[in-house]
Amino acid sequence: MELFSIFYVVIVLYLCYMVWKLFDKRRDQECYILAYQCYKPSDDRMLGTDCCGKIMERNKNLGLNEYKFLLKAVVSSGVGEKTYAPRNIIEGREANPTLNDGIIEMEEFFNDNIAKLLAKTGISPSQIDILVVNVSMISSHPSLASRIINHYKMRHDIKAFNLTGMGCSASLISLDIIKNIFISQKNKFALLVTSESLGPNWYSGNDRSMILANCLFRAGGCAMLLTNNRSLKHKAILRLKCLVRIHHGAIEDAYNCCTQKEDEQGKLGFYLSKNLPKAATRAFVDNLRVFSPKVLPTREFMRYMIVSIIKKLNRNSSPKIATPNKSPLDFKSGVEHFCLHTGGKAVIEGIGKSLDLCDYDLEPSRMTLHRFGNTSASSLWYVLGYMEAKKRLKKGNRVMMISFGAGFKCNSCLWEVMKDLVDTNVWDDCVHHYPPHSLANPFFETFGWINNVQEPTTFILSDFLK
C-alpha cells in the first residue's frame, strides 16, 4: 500500500512537471516587439503638387485624356502633397532608371533607419540572430540582406532571409517567418526590415491600369526589433497574439489582378486589374473566417447565433430589406484598434464598411494615406505610429492589422499592447496638424483647368504650366 502511494505521488509529480515544462516552453515561444522605426525621407524628396506637374510634363507618352485621368485618380486617391518619392524621380531620371537607382534608394533607407532603431533599443548589430528583409520589386546580387549584414558588420552565423515579390502584405509574411523560428529557438533577437523599391519601377507609359500605381505608391519603410526572450518582456511594446495568412494564387483572376509587367511599348510598371476589388473582398472574407474565432469572445458568437436564428424565424413573415455588405460579427468586441492597409481611399473605406468601423477607427489609416501615401508593406507601421503619436495605445489594448498583397494574399494579425505607448516616431513634427479640417488635395486647385481643355491634338502641358 505504501509502495502504491509512493508510485501515485511520483506519477502526480511527473504530470505536474510535464505541465509546467509545457507552460514554460510556451513562454519562450512568445513574439515581442521591442521597438520599431518608420522611415521619413529628407524634405528634398517630397512630392508636392508642382513636382507632380513637372513629372507629368516629362512623360511625353501622355496626352490630354491621360492627364484628365491622372487628375481624377490623384484627387480621389486620398494621398496628400507631402509624400516622398525616390531620388531618381525627383531628379528627372524616372524614364531611364538603373538597378543602381534602386540599390541607392534602399541603402539610403537601411543606413538611416536601422541605425536609429538600434540606437533606440541599445542593441548592437552583433546581437542580432535573425534578419528578415522584404522588398518586393528589386532583386540584387549580393542580396539586400547581405548588404545590411555587410554595412552593420553582423555575425557570420546570422540567419538571413531575403524576400521579394510578396507585395504589400510582405511585412506580416516576414513576421510569420520570425514567429516560427521563435518556436524552436530560445532567447533570440530578430531584425525585420520592410520597404519597397519604387525608383526602377516608376511607370513612364500611358496605360491607365499602370499609371494608377504612380498615383498611390510612395517611398517609405520600417525596421523593427523582435525577441522571444522572456526576461525582456518588461521592455516590449507589443506581443503577437495570432497571425493568419490567406493565399488565392490558385484562382486565376486573383492571381492576375496585381502584376509587375511591361506594357505594349516595353515600359515596366505595376498593373492593377479591374478585378482587384473582387479578389480583395474574397480573400478578406476567407481571412476573417479563420481570424475571427481566434480573437473574438464567445459571447459575440453566441449573440451572432441568437440573432441569426431570430432572423431566420422572421424571414418569411417580414419583407426583405437590402442590407449593407458587412460582417455580421462585431469585431470591436475583441479589438480596440484597427491598422488597415493604406492601399488607397477605396480600400480603407471598403474595409471600414465591412467591419462596421466609425470615423475614429478609420482616422489613423486615412491620415497615414494622406501624409505618407501607400508605402506598400511598411504602411501598417505608419498607421500604428499615428495611433501611438495620438496616445491611443494603452496597456492591454488589442490591435488588429490587415494587409493585402499581389498573388493574391490577405494577411492579418492581432497584437496586445504591453504598456502605454507615447513615442511620436515619424509623426513628431506633424501629428498636431492631424486630422486636418479637409483632406482635399490641392492638385485639383492647380490642375483642374485640364478638364476644360477640348483640343487634345494641340494641347501641350508645358505651355499651360508656364
* Active-site residue, selected from the candidate residues 201, 215, 228, 341: 341
Answer yes or no: pTM beyond 0.95: no
Q: Which is catalytic among the residues 168, 215, 222, 258?
A: 168
Chain position carrying cell 524634405? 43
- Active-site residue, 201 included: no
pLDDT at 323 (0 to 100): 44
Give the number of other Cβ atoms within 10 Å of residue 62's Cβ: 18
> Would residue 432 show up in a list of annotated catalytic residues for this protein?
no
Cα 309 to chain centroid, rounded: 38
- Which one is catalytic: 113, 374, 411, 441? 374
Decide if 374 is catalytic: yes
Given the residues 31, 247, 287, 397, the one annotated as active site: 247
User: How many Cβ atoms from other residues are within 10 Å of residue 247's Cβ?
Assistant: 18
Of 31, 248, 370, 411, the active-site residue reads 370
Contact 341, 171 (CB under 8 A): no
Q: Provide the grid cell at 174.
A: 516576414
- The beta strand positions in 136-257, using DSSP E, are 159-163, 189-195, 221-227, 238-247
Residue type, 168: C
List residues bridging with 159 in a β-sheet: 130
Looking at residue 11, what is its pLDDT? Answer: 74
CA–CA distance, 13 with 17 (Å, rounded to integer): 6
In terms of Cα–Cα distance, which of 277, 208, 215 is closest to 78? 215
341 catalytically annotated: yes
Domains and CATH numbers, the chain: 30-299+328-444 (3.40.47.10)
Q: Which of 250, 241, 217, 201 is nearest to 378 (CA)?
A: 217
Instruction: Note the pLDDT of residue 324.
Output: 47
Regions of the chain where pLDDT drops below 70: 1-4, 7-10, 12-14, 16-27, 315-325, 455-466
pLDDT at 67: 86
| Residue-by-residue DSSP string for 53-102 | HHHHHH-TT--HHHHHHHHHHHHHH---S--B--HHHHTT-TTS--HHHH
Active-site residue, selected from the candidate residues 59, 206, 287, 337: 337
